[in-house]
Chain A
């Protein structure tokens, strides 16, 4: 289309050059006199050549960079998790804090023996998961190094709200030693640190099949999990039905515990989410109000202009010429 209209306009220009009289005739008919025959042909060749060059370069580019090389097999890539309808991922929903409370219980009773959560202080649990008294009690159950005494020795003191949750191992080496060389990662930011986030971790925790599919070779000490890239994970299945007893009497099925602990881990990685959404809503409310105001102000300011009436009031006929 573009090419055609370009061609036509150049032809018109040609016509202009040859004499304005012929313009309409030239533009209307393609075969116009043997003398001018060569010109459209040459133009057609140029257009065809440039188009071929353009298409050819695209094809060449696609040939070089188009196909993406997948160096890994599907097993190495891992099964991509299904998307679950997490309520807290909706725009105007908060975390379910009852679920957070259950999830924290699951973390404490199941995961805390292997995984640290070292970026979470007790104080941040207050108000969102525990009451002050519960958090204080929990903190006091652990010992932390205090101030040096008069001899310069550091004594242990009971924990305070400002302390961070204790880690199960002293250091990475100890953690690896206890887990056959595998390092259980810190879970504070794990939801943000893995592709698929909540869906991935939920699928990982609930996705251990009863037996690995036929023909798979699972390395000694490893467990088959389709969602873990490579499918061999050092963490065995940890969640089993009725492993914990919830205080709110929710049936503690494997998937219920996984859902709760994942929501809790999402909170751990993103404790500001509830406030962020509240702020977002404030922004929407304020901008909506400002917009409404600006519309009213505009109407007010334009009122005189829009409602004016122009009338031509001709002067009375007079014999005098001005």
Chain B
């Protein structure tokens, strides 16, 4: 993370064409008239989303991690965890669990958070 960013930072700060924006850049919608109708539709959708958000904030971390748990890269750990839960629940029914699924849970959580970390940061301010 550190070193490469440091270099790009330095390069950006000395290139004459880099700009410093104290405010959000002006929106360039007027310049693209052919895309107007599309934009409007998107805007409407955006507004709807915002309204939803006002009602209830969704936690991006929870949402993205849930997606990650079902993603192919976590399939095997999820399978192990589900399998363990099934086994332990069976044991509980038969009168007392003989083990727990903490380790399987760790592997799944590790996989999911690893996969979600950059995406979560992209969504948070």
Residues of A within 8 A of B (CB): 73-75, 79-85, 89-93, 98-99, 203, 206-207, 209, 213-217, 226, 231, 241-242, 250-256, 259
Contacts and interface: CB of A to CB of B under 8 A. Distances in A.
Contact of B103 (A74, A84, A85, A251): A74
A75 B9 contact: no
Interface in B52-88: 53, 56-62, 81, 84-85, 88
Contacts of B118: 85
A256 B59 CA distance: 8
Contacts of B103: 73-75
B109 A255 contact: no
Contact of A216 (B6, B59, B62, B100): B100
Given A84-B117, A226-B109, A213 B2 contact: no
A214 B101 contact: yes
Contacts of B81: 213
29 contacts: A74-B102, A74-B103, A75-B103, A79-B106, A79-B110, A80-B110, A81-B113, A82-B110, A82-B114, A82-B117, A83-B117, A84-B120, A85-B1, A89-B1, A90-B1, A90-B5, A92-B6, A207-B109, A213-B85, A213-B101, A214-B89, A214-B97, A214-B101, A215-B88, A216-B101, A250-B125, A254-B62, A255-B61, A255-B62
10 smallest beta-carbon distances between A and B, as pairs:
A215-B100, A255-B61, A213-B105, A82-B113, A214-B88, A213-B101, A215-B97, A215-B88, A253-B59, A91-B6
Contacts, number: 111
Contacts of A82: 110, 113-114, 117
Nearest to A260: B125
A92 B56 CA distance: 36
Nearest to A90: B5
Given A84-B121, A90-B6, A250-B125, A79 B109 contact: yes
B40 to A, nearest CB: 24
B22 interface: no
B117 A85 contact: yes
A231 B101 CA distance: 12
Contacts of A84: 117, 120-121
B100 A241 contact: no
B34 interface: no
Nearest to B111: A82
A252 B124 CA distance: 10
B58 to A, nearest CB: 7
